[in-house]
């Protein structure tokens, strides 16, 4: 695996006369009035820290018939070189495509508004696999520059924009989870976490940009292009869920999440105990961070994204 190297640039020192001549006041940031692309990650998804941000890894289809997918509004959107399916949910129409071993990127990159990366809001909301899985590292098959066919369905490197949690349950009240063995008889010492229905990546786009594409590195370069409007947010969901949890599920949230076990499949060594999340009983509402609410992904199970290490 490649070692990441952080390079620190040394700036040329300005002369004292220039610094003392006039102190320019710090400008007030201008509110972003262009479009916003909201890429919501849902289901069995891993957030791997890098020196410049996160690499988001969507594992390939594995046990329990999970399906890696991208979902987006139907009206005005196009999907070139991708086979699409359509469905209706809450009087809105959506399309979805299946993901297979591609590195995803945003195009045109020049349309992304300049903004520093901020992931502070998600730090306490992602289960850390290092703690839950006895510090087992991620298998190298799941962390390559080009996704390994059969292991990774899609990956995308995030170095700009903001990551925020998407909280569970209407009206988006997050609940506490604790980790236990599958039969519920043992409890992990990993502590409790607040649960999310997904992680939102909010990417500001330059004003008057009419559309943006999420493209794959696969042959024939398939891509999804969605329309944008100033001052509005367009939501695209990227996830890994059971098919009946994608297309407008109606069943109630579950008290435990056995799907979380799929996260352990991407580790180099299987842990002795595959801890899974159980809702704390009686229900305990967490204190959500600021602006944690968002557009819900149209899915039913509560399989949580995870972070490694």
10-residue stretch averages of pLDDT, the chain, 309 residues long = 25 22 39 90 90 92 77 94 91 92 95 90 85 87 91 95 81 82 91 84 96 95 96 93 80 80 88 91 76 57 70
* Residues 6 or more apart whose Cβ sits within 8 Å of residue 302: 168, 195, 197, 253, 254, 257, 277
Whether residue 73 is contained in a domain is answered as yes
- Tell me if 142 is assigned to some domain: yes
Tens-digit pLDDT profile for residues 191-201: 888 878 789 99
- The DSSP code sequence of 9-48 is PPPPPPPHHHHHH--PPPPPPPPP-S-EEEEEEEES-EEE
Q: Which domain holds residue 104?
A: 31-167+197-254+291-308
**Nearest-10 Cα torsion for 236, 240, 241, 243:** 80
Residue 262's pLDDT is: 87
Q: What is the pLDDT of residue 172?
A: 65
Q: Is 83 part of a structural domain of the chain?
A: yes
Q: Read off the pLDDT of residues 244-291 as tens digits, 9 standing for 90 and up.
A: 788 887 766 678 888 888 888 888 888 889 999 999 988 888 876 655
Give the pLDDT score at 11: 24
Classify residue 10: in a domain, yes or no: no
Of 226, 235, 216, the C-alpha closest to 104 is 216
DSSP 262-280: GGGGGBSS--SS--EEEE-
* Contact present, 273 and 223 (Cβ < 8 Å): no
Query: Which residues are CB-neighbours of 243 under 8 A, at least 6 positions away?
Result: 65, 67
Q: Measured between alpha carbons, how far is 195 from 302 in angstroms, rounded to an integer?
A: 8
Domain for residue 9, yes or no? no
Token pair of 262, please? 């799929």
Q: Is residue 284 part of a domain?
A: no
What domain count does the chain have? 1
Residue 148 lies in a domain: yes
Q: From the CB of residue 67, how many other CB atoms can be counted at a distance below 10 Å?
A: 18
**Residue 77 counted as domain residue:** yes
User: H/E element holding 236?
Assistant: strand 233-241
């Amino acid at each position: 695996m490649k070692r990441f190297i952080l390079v620190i640039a040394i700036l040329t020192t300005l002369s004292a006369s220039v610094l003392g001549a006039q102190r320019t006041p710090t400008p007030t940031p201008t509110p972003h009035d262009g479009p916003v692309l909201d890429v919501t990650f849902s289901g069995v998804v891993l957030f791997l820290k890098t020196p410049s941000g996160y690499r988001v890894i969507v594992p390939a289809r594995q046990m329990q018939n999970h399906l890696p997918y991208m979902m987006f509004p139907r009206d005005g959107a196009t999907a070139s070189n991708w086979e699409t399916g359509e469905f209706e949910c809450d009087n809105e129409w959506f399309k979805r495509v299946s993901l297979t071993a591609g590195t995803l990127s945003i195009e045109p990159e020049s349309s992304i508004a300049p903004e520093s990366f901020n992931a502070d809001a998600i730090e306490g909301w992602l289960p850390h696999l290092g703690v839950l899985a006895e510090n087992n590292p991620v298998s190298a098959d799941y962390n390559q520059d080009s996704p390994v066919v059969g292991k990774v369905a899609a990956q995308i490197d995030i170095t700009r924009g903001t990551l925020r949690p998407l909280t569970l349950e209407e009206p988006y009240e997050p609940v506490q989870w604790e980790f236990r063995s599958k039969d519920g008889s043992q409890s992990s010492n990993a502590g409790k976490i607040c649960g999310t229905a997904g992680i939102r990546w909010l990417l500001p786009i330059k004003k008057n940009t009419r559309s943006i594409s999420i493209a794959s590195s696969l042959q024939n370069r398939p891509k999804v292009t969605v329309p944008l409007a100033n001052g509005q947010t367009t939501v695209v969901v990227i996830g890994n869920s059971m098919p009946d949890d994608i297309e407008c599920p109606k069943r109630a949230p579950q008290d435990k999440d056995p799907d979380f076990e799929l996260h352990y499949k991407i580790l180099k060594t299987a842990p002795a105990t595959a801890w899974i999340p159980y809702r704390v009983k009686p229900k305990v509402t967490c204190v959500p961070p600021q602006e944690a609410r968002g557009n819900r992904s149209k899915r039913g199970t509560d399989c949580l994204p995870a972070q490694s290490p």
